[in-house]
Every structure is written in structure tokens, then in C-alpha cells.
Homo-oligomer: A and B are copies of this chain.
Amino acid sequence: MKNNNDILSRAEENYLKEIFHLSGKEKDKVSTNALAERLDTKASSITDMLQKLKAKKLVAYQKYKGCSLTGSGEKVALHIIRKHRLWETFLVNKLSFGWDEVHAVAEELEHIRSKKLIDSIDQFLGFPKFDPHGDPIPDKDGNINYQESKIKLSDTSVKSIVEVVSVNEDSLALLKYLDEIGLRLGSEIEIYSRVPYDESIQVSIDCGDSISLSKKVTENIGVRFKSKMTNK
């Protein structure tokens, strides 16, 4: 049960992290092009790196067939994600950063190598379970509490009332926009109607005015079902 514990480069860590994110809960194979887009590199670079990561037994990879993480690859990925999310929580809870300001910095901090440091931060924060965007934080052994019954806002049915539990942090512009319209973690959203043509929905946020949200927005918001709207 020996871990191939060579020290990994930043690039290698980022590849593993993105493979984890892209393969999702269903552990799908991840395609070269999908990785290239997320990592903002060319497909040929992806191929090179996958061969390297395969040699280190961190990913399973076959030519033309996509890749997935091995056990130890997933362990590394979860550790990076743990660090990323703990640092974000630190920035927001202790240093009063806005939720739209933390992602870029956490992308750097997640590569700091001290185990003692991140475990101390975890303790300092009181062992938080979720980060400021509502995503679950893996514990020191890599266990992650996937949130029960979380769905995308884009997948909800009309006349529902839901609670916002997570937001995709990748787009700074999105986070700023949500801030502007007053949509935050815990907000209550009532879905009035859906326009089939563009899949935009008409909603109110925390009982505010009715507002339209595009598909592009709603597919990046995670919610939990609360109740159906009462007809009055």
C-alpha cells in the first residue's frame, strides 16, 4: 500500500484537480479536449501530461479513450481541493474577503505543501464543513460530504421554492452579478415560470421583485428543494 509520494509540480496538481472536477460524482472518463479547455492549454499539452501522470500511476489513461483518476490520484486531488476550500473559508471568515475575491488567491494557496499548516487552519476555523460557495470541504483523510439532494437551479420545476446552497466559483463575473442582484448562499428563491425557448426562468429572490435569470446563470447555482408555492 505504498504511496508514490514523489513531490508533484503545481501543473501536475492542477491537472489532477481538474480531472476530479470534470469526472464528477459518476467518475466518468474525462476527455482530452475538456481538460484542455478548463486548463486553458492545447490538447497536445494535455496528452503529454496524461502520459506523465499515467507513468506515476496517478491517472488511468488509454490513447483516445480519455482518462480518470486512480486511487492515489484522487487522494491527491481531494487534498488540493481541501486546501483550496479551507483557504477560501479562511479568507472570508477571518479576513473579511468577499466571496468573489477569494478564488484567485486560493488557486495559489492551495499549492502550499505543509500538512501541519492546513490542518492548523482547519482547526483555527473550527473544522468547517462547507466553503463560502457552499461546496463541501474534504476532511484530513479525504472524506467529502456530498450535499444531499442538491440540484442545479436550472433543473428545478416551476412553482417551487428552493434554497441556494452553492454557487460555481469559476466565474468572477457571475459572482459579482449574483452579489448585485442580492443572491447569496441561503437565499430563498421562488420559481414562477420558465421560458422554453431559452430556458430562462422568472424568479423572486428573498421575496424581492420578480427577475429573470438566464440558463447560463441558473446552471451554475446549486439549490435544495424546500416546498411548493401555495396558491393564494
Measuring CB to CB, which residues of chain A are less than 8 angstroms from any residue of chain B? 91, 94-97, 101, 104-105, 108-109, 112-114, 116-117, 120-121, 124
Contacts and interface: CB of A to CB of B under 8 A. Distances in A.
B113 A96 contact: no
Contacts of A104: 114
A149 to B, nearest CB: 35
Nearest to A120: B95
A109 B101 CA distance: 18
A113 B120 contact: no
Given A91-B117, A117-B91, A105 B112 contact: yes
14 contacts: A91-B117, A94-B124, A95-B117, A95-B120, A95-B121, A97-B116, A101-B116, A105-B112, A105-B114, A105-B117, A108-B112, A108-B113, A108-B114, A109-B112
Contact of A120 (B97, B108, B116, B117): B97
A30 to B, nearest CB: 29
A96 B117 contact: no
Given A104-B114, A105-B114, 16 more contacts: A91-B117, A94-B124, A95-B117, A95-B120, A95-B121, A95-B124, A96-B120, A97-B116, A97-B120, A101-B116, A105-B112, A105-B117, A108-B112, A108-B113, A108-B114, A109-B112
A116 B121 CA distance: 19
Contacts of A96: 120
A94 to B, nearest CB: 7
Q: Which 3 A-B pairs have the closest CB atoms?
A: A95-B120, A105-B114, A108-B112
Contacts of A117: 91, 95, 105
Contacts of A108: 112-114
Contacts of A105: 112, 114, 117
Nearest to A121: B95
Contacts of A112: 105, 108-109
A112 B110 CA distance: 11
Nearest to A112: B108
